């Protein structure tokens, strides 16, 4: 197989995770505000609960890390979520299940230069839900029972183009532009107990757009210590229906810091902390929705050459329809192996999450599989 | 790798994300906004509707007749002289042959004797609050045609032409009634080559009415001849009968005693239709989701017609609006309601499905036809008059229940 054919094959694989089909997991906390925030993580980083994110060249958090990609590589992931939740104390829902393709990447070193590039696709905010509620309405002097169904299927997606280069042997810097897009298919229905009323049915296609920039560094202080930092500034997220703007919201400024320690050959510790100023969006949200700034702290441990990965993450969630901020705790684990004589890698991760606060308690499992393909052996 | 991808895609087909809402904490902040409104403003009846300057939501365009002629009507009204309109049914049957042709081949076809003639009529409805209704049967010329008027036929509804009477049992609200006559009762039966014409009127009580017509199993009327023929061996006479259906039917009415219409008239003897232009805000049709629409029409006077009768009033959008001959839209987009003669209650016509036709369709005119249901069209003396739209107190109005466009995050 020629190099050109290999590259074409990789591009085709990345194409499988195009914005139209890639979505992340759902959550009861994704109903409010701009949606449930996504995680631009590769599967190894997920197995470390996100602790590796700040220094991971295959995740989309710190553009400087792209310099470590090396050869051309394509990554795509798929994941299935199983979850259940209780809300408002008396609503218990189980058996919810979703399968999505939330992340993809294509990148590598530009031949003959110290510059590396990466194109990443990830979920910025998940907006998939399907909620049914019942109530009454007085119409024409009579009280009519109504059943509402509000369904949304889609996500705000984040397409990142990043460039990074090695300033000094131990210092990498990078910058990226982010193009927010994606869409959500809305299915809105109200049925009436009185058959004299036809059902209110409306189906709309909500299209999102927005832009952002990010920059970061990665410093190899010693052979055993790497430090990383990045910042991201997003503009406004605009929603349109049939080309007409139906609203926009300010997006947060994100600041990330992280480190990786390699005290021994087969022991790697990593940690990442991120702060996002979601309250910037508060003036643009519905009055009933409360936005919160969030902290996200994650740490992971990787052992061995066919690694065992473990991690834990705590993060605050940005939106609530009541005054208290929800939080999430995730315990993760996973591993990976090389395939095809090192020309491909298969990673998997299992996450156990629990989200609580704001009147709900949500628990579940996330199973992720990632495939990495390279034209040259990883060995 | 392919197996992994196929497995993932396979599982994806089984997504389960639907859940009951736990409101308000975990419901979308956007709500469905359904509202109710009346479209009614100052009206000049001569206003021609426009989308930009609608002065009135309901603008009658005109009343038109001639869609169904009396002889084409599915039913024949027979109304007594005590009603504002008196109506009589006229029927001519197919002729019999000189020989028996009843289909029984085990007998010979030579008729030795005609025993009797039986007339059977199918009653679709009658005023049930009147007892002892009596129909009078008169012999009329078999050349009776569509040009005949009530006055033309009046000489044939005299005592000299009376061939029999038929008392409708009080227990019969609908169904068949029959009368048997001797052959000699029809003086022109033989001379007319065994063909008969019958006129039906009501002789008592005056205020009664009977509507004759076919239903799914029974014709409006038929004549049966009972005869004696030779048996196949020729050594004895046996009784047989044969039946003839209607060859021609119509009705005539005397409207001289009826009050003039108090507005544009729907129905009546002519089966008139009224076209109504609805001045609808463009936004209502293009952007809103109409879940219920009702045309509320207060009758200007008690609804005229046969006392005690009811009828169906229907509304249907026009497919294209170019006057009285405008084609109608698919009947599924219309609606109908039953109204009672003599009532002064506001009549509510359902227009909900018409809005399904109009939504986002800039070509369709917002004009509706108001008429009788087809089965009753031009076969009834019942009518419905529209109110004067210049009177704010009595005009027809449009009541709309609609949902505003859903906007997420609002």
Whole-angstrom distance, CA of residue B137 vs CA of residue B122:
14
**Structure tokens given for B182:** 């001797």
Q: Contact A331/A312 with Cβ under 8 angstroms?
A: yes
**Structure tokens given for A43:** 């599967």
Reported as a single tens digit per residue, the pLDDT across B118-177 is 999 999 988 888 889 999 999 999 999 999 999 999 999 999 999 999 999 999 999 999
* Average pLDDT of span B367-388: 86
- E strands, A221-252, are 225-234, 236-241, 244-250
Phi, then psi, of B285 in degrees rounded to 5: -80, -40
**Among candidates A178, A158, A164, A177, which has minimal Cα distance to A69?**
A164
**Among candidates A6, A37, A4, which has minimal Cα distance to A355?**
A37
| Binary contact (B17, A98; C-beta < 8 A) | yes
Residues of chain A positioned with their CB less than 8 A from the CB of B9: 99
Q: Contact B287/B346 with Cβ under 8 angstroms?
A: no
Q: Contact A39/A24 with Cβ under 8 angstroms?
A: yes
> DSSP label at B22?
B
Q: How far apart, in Å, are the Cα atoms of B340 and each of B127, B299, B302?
A: 11, 11, 9
Reported as a single tens digit per residue, the pLDDT across B84-119 is 888 999 999 999 999 998 888 888 888 999 999 999
The answer to whether residue A206 neighbours chain B at the CB level (below 8 Å) is yes
Q: What per-residue confidence (pLDDT) applies to A233?
A: 97
Residues of chain B positioned with their CB less than 8 A from the CB of A23: none
The pTM is what? 0.76
Q: Give the minimum alpha-carbon distance from B410 to chain A in angstroms, rounded to a whole number.
A: 6
Whole-angstrom distance, CA of residue B27 vs CA of residue A131:
7
Whole-angstrom distance, CA of residue A73 vs CA of residue A58:
9
**Structure tokens given for A155:** 């996500």
* Average pLDDT of span B37-63: 52
**Structure tokens given for A203:** 């189906």
The answer to whether residue B6 neighbours chain A at the CB level (below 8 Å) is no
**Structure tokens given for B68:** 């169904």
**Structure tokens given for A317:** 């969630």
Sign of the CA dihedral B359, B363, B367, B371? Answer: negative
| Binary contact (A133, B23; C-beta < 8 A) | yes
Q: Contact A364/A84 with Cβ under 8 angstroms?
A: yes
Interface test with A, best of B7, B12, B16, B25 (most A CBs within 10 A): B25
Q: Is the peptide bond before B369 cis (omega within 30 degrees of 0)?
A: no
Interface test with B, best of A26, A190, A284 (most B CBs within 10 A): A190
**Among candidates A345, A336, A335, which has minimal Cα distance to A376?**
A345
Write out the DSSP string of B285-342. HHT-EEEEEEEEE--SSSPPSSTT-EEEEEEEEBSS-SSTTPPB--GGG-EEEEEETT
Q: What does chain A come to in residues?
A: 379
| Binary contact (B22, A360; C-beta < 8 A) | yes
Q: Give the residue from chain B lying closest to A136, CA to CA.
A: B34
ipTM confidence: 0.75
Interface of B with A in 332-361 (CB under 8 A): 350, 352-353, 356
| Binary contact (B20, A139; C-beta < 8 A) | no
Q: Give the minimum alpha-carbon distance from A216 to chain B in angstroms, rounded to a whole number.
A: 33
Q: Is the peptide bond before B24 cis (omega within 30 degrees of 0)?
A: yes
The answer to whether residue A337 neighbours chain B at the CB level (below 8 Å) is no
Half-sphere exposure of residue B224, counting CA atoms within 13 Å on the CB side?
Answer: 13
The answer to whether residue B23 neighbours chain A at the CB level (below 8 Å) is yes
> Which of B18, B22, B403 is facing A87, going by the closest CB pair?
B22
pLDDT band at B32 (very low <50, low <70, confident <90, very high): confident
Q: Give the residue from chain A lying closest to B294, CA to CA.
A: A196
CA dihedral A85, A88, A92, A96 (to 10 degrees): -40
Whole-angstrom distance, CA of residue B93 vs CA of residue B242:
13
Q: What per-residue confidence (pLDDT) applies to B18?
A: 57
Whole-angstrom distance, CA of residue B109 vs CA of residue B225:
14
Whole-angstrom distance, CA of residue A114 vs CA of residue A171:
12
Whole-angstrom distance, CA of residue B212 vs CA of residue B205:
17
Q: What per-residue confidence (pLDDT) applies to B410?
A: 57
The answer to whether residue A133 neighbours chain B at the CB level (below 8 Å) is yes
Please provide the average confidence, as pLDDT, over all residues in chain B.
84
**Structure tokens given for A17:** 């995770």
Q: Of all helices (H) and strands (E), which one includes residue B358?
A: helix B352-358
pLDDT band at B21 (very low <50, low <70, confident <90, very high): low
Whole-angstrom distance, CA of residue B291 vs CA of residue B307:
36
**Among candidates A22, A14, A238, A250, which has minimal Cα distance to A123?**
A22
* Percent of chain B surpassing pLDDT 70: 89
Strand partners, A300: A270, A311
The CA-CA-CA angle for residues B230, B94, B99, to 5°, reads: 20
Q: What per-residue confidence (pLDDT) applies to B263?
A: 80
| Binary contact (B26, A133; C-beta < 8 A) | no
Quick check: B228 pLDDT over 80? Answer: yes
Q: What per-residue confidence (pLDDT) applies to B15?
A: 52
**Structure tokens given for A273:** 């902390």
Whole-angstrom distance, CA of residue B41 vs CA of residue A104:
60
Q: Contact A72/A107 with Cβ under 8 angstroms?
A: yes
Q: Give the residue from chain A lying closest to B9, CA to CA.
A: A99
The answer to whether residue A116 neighbours chain B at the CB level (below 8 Å) is no
Interface test with A, best of B10, B13, B28 (most A CBs within 10 A): B28
Phi-psi domain of A242 (left: phi exceeds 0; alpha: psi -120 through 50; beta: other) = left
Half-sphere exposure of residue A276, counting CA atoms within 13 Å on the CB side?
Answer: 23
Q: Of all helices (H) and strands (E), which one includes residue A46?
A: helix A43-47
Mean pLDDT by 10 residues, chain A (379 residues): 40 33 56 90 96 96 94 91 82 82 91 92 90 88 92 93 94 97 93 95 94 97 95 96 90 97 94 97 88 97 93 96 91 93 91 91 95 70
Q: What per-residue confidence (pLDDT) applies to A376?
A: 60
Phi, then psi, of A29 in degrees rounded to 5: -80, 0
In terms of DSSP bridges, do strands A360-373 and A200-220 run parallel, antiparallel, or are they unpaired? unpaired
Phi, then psi, of A267 in degrees rounded to 5: -130, 125
Whole-angstrom distance, CA of residue B346 vs CA of residue A258:
76
pLDDT band at B20 (very low <50, low <70, confident <90, very high): low
Q: What per-residue confidence (pLDDT) applies to A25?
A: 36
Q: What per-residue confidence (pLDDT) applies to B121?
A: 97
Q: Give the residue from chain A lying closest to B27, CA to CA.
A: A31
Quick check: B313 pLDDT over 50? Answer: yes
């Amino acid at each position: 197989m020629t190099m050109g054919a290999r590259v074409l094959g990789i591009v085709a694989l990345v194409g499988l995770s195009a914005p139209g089909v890639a979505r992340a997991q759902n959550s009861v906390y994704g109903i409010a505000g701009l949606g449930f925030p996504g995680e631009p993580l590769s599967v190894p980083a997920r197995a470390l609960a996100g602790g590796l994110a700040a220094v991971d060249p295959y995740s989309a958090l710190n553009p400087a890390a792209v310099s470590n990609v090396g050869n051309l590589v394509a990554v795509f992931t798929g994941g299935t979520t199983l979850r259940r939740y209780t809300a408002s104390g008396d609503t218990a829902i189980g058996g919810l299940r979703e399968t999505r393709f939330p992340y993809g990447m294509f990148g590598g070193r530009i031949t003959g230069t110290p510059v590396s590039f990466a194109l990443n696709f990830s979920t910025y905010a998940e907006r998939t839900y399907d909620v049914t509620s019942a109530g009454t309405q007085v119409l024409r002097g009579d009280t009519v029972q109504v059943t509402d169904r509000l369904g949304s299927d889609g996500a705000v997606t984040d397409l990142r183009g990043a460039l990074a280069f090695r300033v000094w042997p131990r210092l990498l810097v990078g910058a990226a532009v982010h193009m927010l897009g994606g869409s959500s298919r809305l299915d809105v229905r109200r049925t009436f107990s009185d058959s004299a009323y036809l059902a209110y049915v409306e189906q709309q296609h909500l299209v999102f757009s927005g832009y952002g920039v990010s920059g970061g560094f990665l410093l190899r202080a010693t052979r055993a210590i790497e430090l990383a930092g990045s910042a991201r500034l997003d503009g406004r997220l605009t929603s349109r229906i049939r080309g007409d703007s139906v609203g926009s919201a300010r997006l947060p400024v994100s600041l990330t810091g992280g480190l990786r320690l390699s005290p021994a050959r087969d022991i790697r510790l990593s940690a990442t902390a991120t702060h996002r100023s979601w309250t910037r969006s508060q003036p643009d949200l519905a009055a009933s929705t409360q936005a919160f700034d969030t902290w996200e702290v994650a740490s992971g441990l990787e052992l061995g050459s066919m690694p065992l990965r473990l991690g834990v993450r705590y993060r605050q969630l940005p939106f609530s329809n009541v005054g208290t901020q929800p939080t999430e705790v995730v315990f993760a684990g996973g591993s990976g192996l090389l395939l095809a004589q090192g020309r491909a890698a298969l990673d998997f991760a299992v996450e156990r999450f629990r989200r609580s606060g704001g009147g709900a308690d949500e628990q579940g499992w996330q199973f992720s599989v990632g495939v990495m393909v390279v034209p040259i052996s990883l060995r | 790798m392919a197996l992994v991808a196929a497995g993932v895609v396979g599982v994806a087909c089984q997504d389960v994300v639907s859940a009951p809402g736990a409101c308000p904490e975990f419901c979308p902040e956007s709500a469905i906004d359904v509202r109710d409104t009346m479209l009614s403003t100052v009206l000049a009846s001569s206003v021609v509707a426009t989308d930009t300057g609608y002065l009135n939501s309901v603008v009658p365009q005109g009343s038109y007749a001639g869609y169904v002629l009396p002889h084409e009507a599915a039913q024949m009204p027979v109304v007594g002289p005590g009603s504002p309109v008196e109506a009589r049914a006229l029927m001519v049957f197919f002729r019999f042959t000189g020989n028996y042709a009843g289909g029984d081949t085990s007998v010979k076809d030579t008729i030795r004797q005609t025993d009797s003639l039986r007339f059977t009529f199918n009653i679709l409805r009658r005023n049930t609050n009147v007892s002892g209704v009596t129909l009078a049967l008169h012999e009329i010329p078999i050349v009776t045609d569509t040009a005949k008027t009530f006055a033309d036929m009046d000489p044939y509804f005299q005592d000299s032409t009376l061939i029999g009477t038929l008392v409708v049992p009080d227990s019969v609200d609908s169904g068949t009634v029959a009368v048997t006559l001797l052959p000699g009762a029809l003086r022109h039966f033989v001379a007319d080559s065994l063909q008969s014409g019958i006129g039906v009127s009501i002789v008592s009580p005056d205020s009664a009415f009977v509507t004759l017509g076919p239903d799914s199993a029974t014709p409006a009327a038929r004549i049966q001849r009972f005869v004696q023929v030779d048996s196949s061996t020729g050594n004895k006479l046996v009784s047989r009968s044969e039946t003839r259906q209607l060859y021609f039917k119509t009705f005539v009415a005397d409207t001289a005693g009826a009050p003039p219409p108090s507005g544009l008239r729907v129905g009546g003897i002519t089966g008139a239709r009224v076209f109504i232009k609805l001045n609808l805000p463009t936004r209502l049709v293009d952007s809103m989701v109409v879940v219920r629409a009702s045309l509320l029409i207060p009758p200007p006077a008690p609804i005229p017609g046969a006392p005690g009768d009811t009828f169906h009033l229907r509304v249907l959008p026009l497919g294209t609006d170019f006057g009285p001959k405008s084609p109608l839209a698919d009947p599924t987009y219309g609606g109908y309601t039953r109204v009672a003669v003599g009532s002064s209650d506001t009549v509510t016509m359902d227009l909900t499905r018409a809005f399904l036709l109009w939504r986002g369709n800039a070509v369709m005119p917002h004009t509706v036809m108001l008429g009788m249901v087809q089965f009753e069209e031009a076969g009834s003396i019942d009518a419905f008059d529209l109110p004067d739209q210049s009177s704010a107190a009595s005009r027809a109005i449009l009541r709309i229940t609609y949902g505003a466009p859903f906007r997420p995050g609002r």
